[in-house]
Amino acid sequence: MSAQNRAPRAQLRDDSGVAKYRHEALAVVLQVRPETDGFVLSVLLWQRGRDPYAGRWALPSGPVEVDERIGTSVRRHLATRVELAEVAHLEQLITVSTPNRDPFERTIGTAYLGLVPWTSDPDLPPEAAWWPVADLPDLAFDHDRLVRDGVARMQAKLSYTNIGFALAPAEFTMSQLRDAYEAALGHEISVTNLQRILTRRDQLAPTGESTRSGSRGGRPAKLFRFTRHELEITDPFAVLRPDAG
């Protein structure tokens, strides 16, 4: 019998007949990472070292202990397994409960969405890596679905909340922010329209400072910041469409 089809390890009911099963916490951690050709929307993955799915890539995860909340469990697994401290935003994403999602035993999974600023570059162990969302490997369990759900949640919240603060550092140029939003949303946008929309929603403010001129000269670019760094609904019925043009 293969590892993937092995019989469940644990009994599914206690002595009184009440159902019992494992509950795991998972993290969909996204970052628009600066690469040679611009920003790339990426997700943090972990290569599994044991069955089921040994050698396959998966989301960081682990069991929820009997004395902790799920959110606490997510933070604990991130801190102990990938030493990721710069998560700017973390929120509950979805609970998945398909009975056979884990071929070893009945497991309920609760996933959280985490966002990391593009300036963050934490040290990762050899078995962890950032993978472009557009070019994922064959993921273990149902984690491909969870990545899609996380991306969809982030993209939706870019329309009606100020969640962009979690993708950006404390200060940035509008060109940098435009590039980050393009990577996150998956289409081209106008830097002028983006600045106008975010300013009108009171999400964006100039710092009064500018970048230094580079080695090639050129006019210094103005620096901006997000006005708040806690999630807020800024326009509940809006769809963010700062289209290029």
What CATH number is given to the structural domain containing 94? 3.90.79.10
2: confidence class by pLDDT, cuts 50, 70, 90: very low
Q: Which residue has the higher pLDDT, 177 or 37?
A: 177
- 103 is a domain residue: yes
End residue of a domain, out of 144, 176, 201: 144
Distance from C-alpha of 215 to C-alpha of 127, rounded to nearest angstrom: 38
What number is the average pLDDT over the span 3-25?
70
In terms of phi and psi (left: phi > 0; alpha: psi -120 to 50; beta: otherwise), the region of 61 is beta
Q: 116 and 220 share a domain?
A: no
Backbone angles phi and psi of 198, in degrees to 5: -70, -30
Say if residue 123 is in the same domain as residue 169: no
Which of 95, 114, 144 lies at the terminal end of a domain, its last residue?
Answer: 144
User: Where is pLDDT greater, at 218 or 3?
Assistant: 218
- Share of the chain residues as helix, strand and coil, in percent rounded to the nearest 5: 25, 30, 45
**pLDDT tens, position by position, 104-124:** 888 999 999 999 999 999 889
- The whole domain housing 174 covers 161-226
**Based on the number of CB atoms within 10 Å of its own CB, is 7 exposed (0-12), middle (13-18) or buried (19 or more)?**
exposed
Q: Backbone phi, then psi, for 177, in 5-degree steps? A: -65, -40
Q: What residues pair up with 38 in beta bridges, in sequence order?
A: 35
Mean pLDDT computed over 157-177: 97
Q: How many CB atoms lie within 10 A of CB 78?
A: 24
Q: Give the CATH number of the domain where residue 206 resides.
A: 1.10.10.10
Q: Evaluate if residue 3 carries a pLDDT over 70.
A: no
> What is the spatial distance between Cα 200 and Cα 197, in angstroms, rounded to a whole number?
5
Residue 234 lies in a domain: no
Q: Let me know if residue 121 belongs to a domain.
A: yes
Share of the chain above pLDDT 90, in %: 76
Residues 181, 77 share a domain:
no
Task: Evaluate whether residue 149 is within a structural domain.
Answer: no
| Predicted pLDDT of residue 215 | 47
Q: Is residue 1 predicted with pLDDT exceeding 60?
A: no
Q: Quick one: CA dihedral 232, 45, 62, 106, positive or negative?
A: positive
Find tokens 């472009």 and name the residue: 132
Q: Are residues 16 and 125 in the same domain?
A: yes
- Nearest residue to 153 (alpha-carbon basis) of 143, 168, 163: 163
Query: Is residue 20 very low, low, confident or very high in pLDDT (cuts 50, 70, 90)?
Result: confident
